[in-house]
């Protein structure tokens, strides 16, 4: 092998032992032992021997391979995010085309059930989100272009130690770019969640979790989406994960408590709401849900205190007003009940539960015409609201409009075939029309659903009494009494029906 020799006259033919890697050095880059002491004293540490340079080169090769692998992974993730965005846009286009067809076919009820989608577009919310996404993606593209140009400059300087720092800079920039798709995917999931497209939202949250599994908010949101799909136990697992990442996430504690209420685990729910409140005493939703759990434990006054606290924190909490009205029904304070439901409705005019329960309170005050207006409003918001159909039938029966009442009961039963109350009420309306045999069939169906339905037994007894089937009537009355119907109430029915 030919030996590399120094060319300086004073130490000509000395063996070259390395290269100077200092970018500001104006001397020859190669050096011998004499050059090292003569020309490179100010940056001695930048003079690297051949063996050490070989080690550096191997490190640079390894670094570039790592960078290549990182960039390939980032590119793959970005591609997946693009595909997800395009998939969501295609789904939106299909939904909008279907809605257009629904209008053409005069299918207004189906169209109305999806009107919230049009509202989001009309408010420019989705358009603004898409424009923001495009803007962010353009920024990413410009960043990539800039870094490619910078990388090309780095390639031209491969003999410089600065190469390593430049590669690190490029890698750090790409890691920063990775944050943008994560946030966009997460935000997209939130929008889908708010549009009640929960399964699609879950798909977005899954991608976000794969990118950043340590963000407690994603786990909490996915739990909420699962909860809305009635996957309560799964939802709780995700709330627990959010809490394990961030024990101070009061929303996750509150949501877990709400899920436990659905599972009728009321004391456990109260514990969760208490934890949420201890973290954030101004969490009005947690106060409201704690009240709901207390109501289910028949601790009505404590529940009322919680609702009042929620309302004091947020007077526009429609659920707190609704729940307060619902609890006041237990005290039969119907005027106060109606006031609470009115407040809930003023905040949220589409609150079908509040319209229905206001109607029920009016039924209890025998204001049947006013009640029917409320039930009609509830049904217009939610045509499948079987309880509202039943309650409207009850009001119509109170106005002696028995045939119309039966139509409403039939609608309720069609929506929920095992709705014992609607079957019993239909039987009562048939009895008012003196169709006692048909009435008895309805009472029997109600009893088959709930063998301890004492009112169905007593009303069946009355129908049998009208048919002069006295022995069977007595058996039905005895059954009602054995289950627990009030004797005085039964006597009144027999005497005045």
What would the mean pLDDT of 340-358 be, rounded to a whole number?
Answer: 95
Residue pLDDT, tens place only, 68-118: 887 787 777 777 777 777 887 888 888 888 888 888 888 887 788 778 778
**pLDDT for the residue 31:** 83
Rounded Cα distance between 418 and 235, Å, is 28
Question: Is residue 359 pLDDT above 90, yes or no?
Answer: yes
Q: Does residue 408 form part of some domain? A: no
Say how many C-beta atoms besides its own lie within 10 A of residue 24's C-beta: 7
- Contact at 8 Å (CB) between 362 and 374? yes
Q: Does residue 195 form part of some domain? A: no
Q: 19 - beta bridge partners?
A: 30, 48
Q: Where are the alpha helices (DSSP H) in 280-317?
A: 284-296, 300-313
User: How many structural domains comprise the chain?
Assistant: 2
Rounded to 10°, the helix 266-279/250-262 angle is 170
What would the mean pLDDT of 141-170 be, rounded to a whole number?
Answer: 54
Contacts of 310 (CB under 8 A, 6+ apart): 284, 285, 287, 288, 291, 317, 320
**pLDDT for the residue 2:** 55
Residue pLDDT, tens place only, 438-449: 999 999 999 999
If one compares 157 and 231, the residue with the highest pLDDT of the two is: 231
Query: Domain limits at 456?
Result: 421-497
CA distances from 356 to 37, 122, 344 (A): 95, 29, 12
What pLDDT band is residue 469 in, cutting at 50, 70 and 90?
very high
User: The whole model's pTM is what?
Assistant: 0.62
Q: Does residue 50 form part of some domain? A: yes
Proportion of the chain above pLDDT 70, given as a percent: 84
Q: Does residue 410 form part of some domain? A: no
Proportion of the chain above pLDDT 90, given as a percent: 52
**pLDDT for the residue 60:** 82
What would the mean pLDDT of 261-267 be, rounded to a whole number?
Answer: 96
Tokens of 317: 């909490």
What pLDDT band is residue 179 in, cutting at 50, 70 and 90?
very low
CA distances from 403 to 74, 263, 393, 435, 444 (A): 68, 39, 9, 12, 20
Task: Output the CA angle 153-156-159, nearest 5 degrees.
Answer: 125
Q: What is the CATH number of the domain that holds 467?
A: 1.25.40.10
Rounded Cα distance between 208 and 192, Å, is 14
The overall average pLDDT reported for the chain is 85
**pLDDT for the residue 382:** 92
**pLDDT for the residue 165:** 43
Q: Does residue 303 form part of some domain? A: no
Rounded Cα distance between 225 and 232, Å, is 10
- Of 23-37, 226-240, 322-336, 429-443, the range with the lowest mean pLDDT is 23-37
Rounded Cα distance between 476 and 66, Å, is 83
**pLDDT for the residue 173:** 42
**pLDDT for the residue 254:** 97
Question: Which residue shows structure tokens 């004293």?
Answer: 41
Question: Which of 296, 212, 314, 304 is CA-nearest to residue 258?
Answer: 296
Q: 47 - beta bridge partners?
A: 20
- Contact at 8 Å (CB) between 62 and 70? no
**pLDDT for the residue 478:** 87
What would the mean pLDDT of 294-312 be, rounded to a whole number?
Answer: 96
Residue pLDDT, tens place only, 125-144: 566 566 656 656 666 666 66
What pLDDT band is residue 457 in, cutting at 50, 70 and 90?
very high
Rounded Cα distance between 147 and 480, Å, is 83
- Domain closes at, from 64, 80, 96: 80
What would the mean pLDDT of 415-432 be, rounded to a whole number?
Answer: 96
Per-residue b/e over 376-409, b at no fewer than 16 CB within 10 Å?
ebbbebbeebbbbbbbbbbbbbbeebbebbbbbb
**pLDDT for the residue 229:** 96
**pLDDT for the residue 86:** 80
Q: Does residue 400 form part of some domain? A: no
Q: Does residue 432 form part of some domain? A: yes
What would the mean pLDDT of 379-402 be, rounded to a whole number?
Answer: 96
Question: Is residue 23 pLDDT above 70, yes or no?
Answer: yes
- Domain closes at, from 63, 80, 97: 80
Q: Does residue 293 form part of some domain? A: no
- Domain closes at, from 40, 63, 80: 80
């Amino acid at each position: 092998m030919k030996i590399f020799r120094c060319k300086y006259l004073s130490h000509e033919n000395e063996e070259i032992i390395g290269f100077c890697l200092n970018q500001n050095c104006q001397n020859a880059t190669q050096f011998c032992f004499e050059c090292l002491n003569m020309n490179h004293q100010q940056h001695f540490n930048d003079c690297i021997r051949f063996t050490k340079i070989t080690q550096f080169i191997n490190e640079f090769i390894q670094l570039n391979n790592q960078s290549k692998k990182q960039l390939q992974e980032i590119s793959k993730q970005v591609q997946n995010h693009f595909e997800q965005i395009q998939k969501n846009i295609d789904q939106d286009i299909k939904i909008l085309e279907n809605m257009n067809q629904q209008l053409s076919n005069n299918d207004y009820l189906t169209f109305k059930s999806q009107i919230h989608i049009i509202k989001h577009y009309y408010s420019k919310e989705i358009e603004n989100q898409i424009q923001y996404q495009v803007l962010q993606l353009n920024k990413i593209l410009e960043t990539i272009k800039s870094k490619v140009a910078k990388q090309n400059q780095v390639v031209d300087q491969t003999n410089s130690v600065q190469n390593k720092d430049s590669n690190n800079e490029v890698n750090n920039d790409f890691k920063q770019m990775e944050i943008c798709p994560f946030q966009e995917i997460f935000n997209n999931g939130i929008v889908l969640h708010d549009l009640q497209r929960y399964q699609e939202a879950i798909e977005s949250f899954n991608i976000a979790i794969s990118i950043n599994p340590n963000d407690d908010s994603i786990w909490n949101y996915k739990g909420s989406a699962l909860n809305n799909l009635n996957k309560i136990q799964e939802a709780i697992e995700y709330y627990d994960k959010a809490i394990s990442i961030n024990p101070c996430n009061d929303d996750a504690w509150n949501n877990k408590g709400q899920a436990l209420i659905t599972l009728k685990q009321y004391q456990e729910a109260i514990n969760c709401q208490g934890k949420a409140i201890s973290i954030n005493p101004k969490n009005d939703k947690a106060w409201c849900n704690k009240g709901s759990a207390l109501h289910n434990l028949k601790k009505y006054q404590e529940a009322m205190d919680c609702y009042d606290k929620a309302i004091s924190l947020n007077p526009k909490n429609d659920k707190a007003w609704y729940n307060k009205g619902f609890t006041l029904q237990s005290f039969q304070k119907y005027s106060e009940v109606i006031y609470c439901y009115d407040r809930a409705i003023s905040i949220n005019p589409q609150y079908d539960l509040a319209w229905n329960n206001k109607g029920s309170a009016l039924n209890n005050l025998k204001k049947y015409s006013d009640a029917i207006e409320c039930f009609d409003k509830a049904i217009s918001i939610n045509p499948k609201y079987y309880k509202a159909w039943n309650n409207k039938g009850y009001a119509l029966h109170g106005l002696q409009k028995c045939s119309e009442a039966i139509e409403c009961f039939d609608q309720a039963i069609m929506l929920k075939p095992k709705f014992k109350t609607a079957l019993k009420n239909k039987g009562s309306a048939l009895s008012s029309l003196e169709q006692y045999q048909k009435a008895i069939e309805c009472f029997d169906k109600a009893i088959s659903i709930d063998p301890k339905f004492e009112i169905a037994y007593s009303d069946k007894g009355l129908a049998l009494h009208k048919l002069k089937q006295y022995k069977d009537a007595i058996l039905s009355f005895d059954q009602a009494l054995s289950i627990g119907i009030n004797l005085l109430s039964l006597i009144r029915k027999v005497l005045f029906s």
